Structure 1
């Protein structure tokens, strides 16, 4: 009987996306659409334990924790991880990361006859978009569509236009205590990014917050992480009536629920933009040396919600995909985005 039943094994896809937070968040609309299209196919996401709450609203999706700094570290750790994953009866792998670790796992699964499809990151066209000479300045395929293409290659085509956002999550007591059930519009502001080159100057962001606080229309929630950012946000929050620092005040799961209940989010080209967009929250993004053409525009957000620096003056933008390459003279590109422009964009929403 066991041999006969193995001819029709349960369809079970392993999805690999280990980091970073924004890239992990961008998988959510894709996986939601997949689940709606193929409800009988089981999905297991291999990612960091911290990211598990990101997937909590997707039915029949389980998360397997990759402990890449501990028991799954190095080649022996990856072999241990592979042996653990084998017990889940995986019969296809969607590698949405395509890095050294996932390449090692790809080899292991392939040797067992399991089909693995990896994301095409479009490195050549991204290089053409970011180079200074003979730049090919055009919109590239979105990261969301690149993820969807992986499932297409596994013979599970999905249409992201059919995606549906979930209902808003009920607020936890922690969130109610923090927000005081404010009846004003709830605006999230995430003023930080991995690189300074795509972080709006703090003094200009304070001008934005000051004007919005003065208008008295919004309850403003500040998002960030790490001690330095928390100290800065605590300092800003203490100066205004309608501003609350969220950083360090809520567990990640509650922070996501709060983000999902916002009326709007203002973010850099960073993870918080993608967290807000995965809930359908109108999201305004501020861009520095990167650009939406690279394919990292938050899901479902119109291009008009991207506020760009002066591209006539700084015509080499985008200078990099992630913001880690800044040509001489491009250190202050975001100073060309005026606080008044940002405030108007928020009010127009």
Structure 2
């Protein structure tokens, strides 16, 4: 392996395949790492294997190409992945950084390894995460961040990077669509993403409405609501219709413009979910609300101080985190987020005015 490391570092046509198929938050967490890689190794090409929809996330990184993974069609199953491997080989891939480490990427790992191409997969730290989320003999300590785990993959391939050296890009120019949607408001711009994959890490809607109502009355922010899908769109339309300073973004902007809007926010309020990581990758101050998950698991948004994470009452709910992703909720922990008062959230947001 040592010889492979030297060879791929000295090859003029070095092309590293980066595998990260989903989900949006996990992909957003790759961005600071890939920016740092680009600044450290400006001549090395990066080919990112992910879903076509996510391509705009990588728009500010030079010498990077997104190769669309059609895992539900063309690249489905063993035959589809074999076809995908052949297509990728034609691109001159010289090394593989698997930042996902799932069944699909394991199949690709095997195929590339048979071809003599070095592959390094992310160490997800499952043992440490199990100890952190255990109800008995819990080991409550901060684990490596996901960003660190991503960076380690490149280091093991022979491309060490230091994510502390990361530099954020300049603010993205607003599109005419965003200017029209915002009515070119001169107030502070606040994004609120009130949903998450699991209810256990979603702030109760009635409490979030209380936060929005207070902020709207104070008239300091133009508030943009983010979500996805018909159900969330309908909920957010209903909320926005009741207030003067609240705009529902869902369905009104293409994804590229939605990213530009997020990149121009003054502050984002999000759950432990994808929108938090998108805002953080643009250096937007990001306030996160946590339920049965916890920042110690390594999913704190990039570059955000610990005080930007608002946690439930950990003295009362001392088993937190009960899971890494929020899919395990012990009896009695169904309402942990009710222990976060709306007043606390409002005061934190107002500190950015």
Q: Aligned partners of 2:12 and 2:281: how far apart in 1? A: 32
Answer yes or no: is 1:203 the counterpart of 2:206: yes
After superposition, where does 1:75-114 map in structure 2 within 5 Å? 75-114=78-117
1:78-115 deviation digits (Å, cap 9, x = unpaired): 01111110100000000000000000000000000000
Match of 1:346 in 2: 349
Structure 1 ranges of 4+ moved more than 2 A: none
The structure 1 residue matched to 2:148, chosen from 115, 123, 145, is 145
Q: Match of 1:271?
A: 274
Structure 1 counterpart of 2:239, from 236, 240, 243? 236
Question: 1:41 corresponds to which residue?
Answer: 44
Aligned-partner Cα distance in 1 for 2:324–2:252: 32
Alpha-carbon shift at residue 217 of structure 1 (Å): 0.5
Aligned partners of 2:321 and 2:250: how far apart in 1? 30
> Number of residues paired by the alignment?
343
Aligned-pair distance for 1:173? 1.1
Say whether 1:162 aligns with 2:165.
yes
SS across alignment from 1:324: coil
Alignment partner, residue 174 of structure 2: 171
Cα displacement string for residues 104-160 of structure 1 (whole angstroms, at most 9, x for unaligned residues):
000000000000000000000000000100000000000000000000001111111
- Residue pairs, 1:205-220, within 5 angstroms: 205-220=208-223
Q: Deviations over 1:241-282 (max 9, x none)?
A: 000000111110100000000000000000000000000000
Q: TM-score, normalised by structure 2?
A: 0.96
What SS does the aligned partner of 2:190 have? strand
Shift of 1:224: 0.1
Equivalent runs, 1:1-349 vs 2, <5 Å:
8-349=11-352
The whole-number CA distance in structure 1 between the counterparts of 2:177 and 2:47 is: 30
Unmatched runs of 5 consecutive residues or more in structure 2? 1-9
What CA distance in whole angstroms lies between the structure 2 residues aligned with 1:101 and 1:185? 43
Report the Cα distance in structure 2 between the residues aligned to 1:104 and 1:284, rounded to whole angstroms.
38
Unpaired segments of 5 or more residues in structure 1?
1-6
Using the TM superposition, name which of 331-340 and 157-166 deviates more.
Answer: 157-166
In structure 1, the residue matched to 2:7 is: none
